[in-house]
Structure 1
Amino acid sequence: MHATTAGTGEAQQGVPASRRIGPYVLITALDDPRSHNPVPERRYIARSADGEHTVLLSTPLAGTDPQRFMAEAEASRYLLGQFMSPAVTCAASGEAAWHARPYLPALPLPTALAVHGGPLPERTVRALGAALAEALVIAHGQGLTYAGVSPAAVLLAADGPRLTCFGAVRAAAPDGTPRSGLPGLEPGSLPPEQASGGRPRPLGDVYALGATLAYAATGHTTPERDELPSALRTILSRCLARDPGARPQLAELLDLFAPTAAITPSAPHPADPAMVQVPVDAGFATRTAALLGPGWLTSPVIAAIAHQSAAVLSAEIPRSTVPTSRQD
Structure 2
Amino acid sequence: MARTLPISDPDTLAVAIEALRRGEPIAVPTETVYGLAADATNPEAITRIYEAKGRPRFNPLIAHVSDIEMAKAHVVFSPLADKLAEAFWPGPLTLVLPLNPSAKIHPLATAGLATAALRMPQGFAREIIAAFGQPLAAPSANRSGRVSPTTAAHVADDLGDKISLILDGGSCRVGVESTILSVEGDHLRLLRPGGIAAKDIEDIAGMAVERPVQQSGNMVIAPGMLASHYAPDSALRLNASAVRPGEAVIRFGGAQIPGEEEASVVMDLSPTGDLREAAANLFDFIKRADAAGVVGIAVAPVPMHGLGEAINDRLSRAAAPRE
Same fold per superposition (TM over 0.5): no
By percentage of residues, which structure has more helix? 1
Structure-2-length-normalised TM-score: 0.33
Give the structure with higher Rg (CA).
1
Instruction: Identify the structure with the greater strand proportion.
Output: 2
- TM-score in terms of structure 1 length: 0.33
